[in-house]
Amino acid sequence: MTATLLAQAAQLLSHGQPLAMATVLRVEGSVPGKQGAKMLVLEDGSTKGTIGGAGLEEIVKAHAREVLSTHTSRSERFDLSRWKEGGLDSLCGGSVTVVIEYLRPPPRLLMIGGGHVARAVADQCDLLGLGYGVIDDRPEFASAERFPKAQVLMTSEPAAALRTLSARELRGFSDALLLGYSYHVDVAALDVLLERFPGIIGVIGSRTKWTAMCKILRANGHPPERLEGVHCPVGLSIGANSVPEIAISIVSQIIASDRLGPTAALLAASAGAWEQDRRQSRAAVRGASGGTAEGTASNVIPWTDLAPHLVQEDP
């Protein structure tokens, strides 16, 4: 049972689903669940496995939902004796200690555009065991032959495809990468991502491309604060030039942000170069709106920038 439950947990995590796992750590006296019993609690409140049922399981489920909300693991001790102060409404008579762990899924990428860079990023994801999906309106660039390990493959105009995905499906991806071959396709897709995608957004392209995109996106009603959270070019500033190097810089940024948090960008690149790129990015956004280069911080985790000579579009 434990092996099956752990396999289910691994499958859910690989598809971007955060979990709370409750494990009976210690038992004293008569209790419904044995030591080592496990239960998974999903974001929608559904469960897999059991730690004994009855009132104990219901109160642990409530704690697990809090763990999912706060992203903080905890342990709780419960007396299954209704006559004791603070005891559960139970006649079992024993006590149980339950550890409730927050299981955070690894990064999972949604790539818009299945060209050379996307293929190289997919290779890195395959090596690291990261899940990903690909959207491209060209069938030959969003095929199972080209991306045999993709969890999602959509052959459709990207903006339209993004609108067909549910909010829950989009939340299953930590990062969205615009790696398209067409400026117009990218703008339309980014318009939808800014509206619907809650995670990190990165765009492959030059500063010239980003400035032009900002003008359109501001005209479409996206505020500067939101646009400042999108970094173009995407990836760590490692001086990448070839397609494999660009892919490594992108995946490295994703890992750094996941492991180190919002300060990863500053840690991974020189502070001066990073700040200069951020000022240029803000200037592009504010210039598109006729405002100043200064603005409030975005609520999207920052991305560092790849070298300015990065190609504008991925064929």
Task: Convert the pLDDT of each residue in 189-216 to its tens digit.
Answer: 999 999 999 999 999 988 888 889 999 9
Rounded to whole angstroms, what are the CA distances from 72 to 68, 134, 270, 308? 7, 32, 32, 39
Q: Is residue 256 part of a domain?
A: yes
pLDDT tens for residues 224-250?
Answer: 888 888 878 888 888 888 999 999 999
Of 103, 124, 143, the residue at which a domain comes to its end is 103
- Give the model's pLDDT for residue 208: 86
Identify whether residues 119 and 254 lie together within a single domain.
yes
Q: Is residue 313 part of a domain?
A: no
Q: Is residue 229 part of a domain?
A: yes
What DSSP line would sit under 107-142, residue for residue?
Answer: PEEEEE--SHHHHHHHHHHHHHT-EEEEEESSGGGS
Q: Which of 128-132, 167-171, 172-176, 300-304 has the lowest average pLDDT?
A: 300-304
Identify whether residues 6 and 66 lie together within a single domain.
yes
- Give the model's pLDDT for residue 311: 40
Of 46, 75, 103, the residue at which a domain comes to its end is 103
Domain, as residue range, for 12: 2-103
Q: What percent of the chain has pLDDT above 90?
A: 51
> 310: pLDDT confidence band, cut at 50, 70 and 90?
very low
**Count, residues in the chain:** 315
Identify whether residues 144 and 241 lie together within a single domain.
yes
Cis-peptide, bond into residue 315, ω within 30° of zero: no
Identify whether residues 149 and 238 lie together within a single domain.
yes
Identify whether residues 222 and 158 lie together within a single domain.
yes
**Separation between Cα atoms, residue 130 and residue 106, nearest integer Å:** 7
Number of domains in the chain: 2
Identify whether residues 32 and 162 lie together within a single domain.
no
Of 80, 103, 126, the residue at which a domain comes to its end is 103
Identify whether residues 112 and 177 lie together within a single domain.
yes
Q: Is residue 195 part of a domain?
A: yes
Strand, coil or helix: 29: coil
**Separation between Cα atoms, residue 129 and residue 125, nearest integer Å:** 6
Write b or e for each residue in 284-306: b if 16 or more Cβ atoms lie within 10 A of its Cβ, otherwise e. Answer: bbbbbbeeeeebeebebbbbbbb
Structure tokens at 28: 């004293």
Identify whether residues 63 and 40 lie together within a single domain.
yes
Identify whether residues 155 and 202 lie together within a single domain.
yes
The separation between the first and the last C-alpha atoms of the chain, rounded to the nearest angstrom, is: 48
**Separation between Cα atoms, residue 180 and residue 205, nearest integer Å:** 10
Q: Give mean pLDDT, residues 78-94.
A: 67
CATH number at residue 247: 3.40.50.720
Q: Is residue 315 part of a domain?
A: no
Q: Is residue 98 part of a domain?
A: yes
pLDDT at 305 over 50: no
**Separation between Cα atoms, residue 25 and residue 302, nearest integer Å:** 39
Identify whether residues 61 and 119 lie together within a single domain.
no
Q: Is residue 305 part of a domain?
A: no
Identify whether residues 121 and 254 lie together within a single domain.
yes
Q: Give mean pLDDT, residues 61-70.
A: 93
Q: Is residue 299 part of a domain?
A: no
pLDDT tens for residues 155-189?
Answer: 999 999 999 999 999 999 999 999 988 888 999 99
Query: What mean pLDDT, rounded, does the chain reach?
Result: 82
pLDDT at 102 over 70: yes
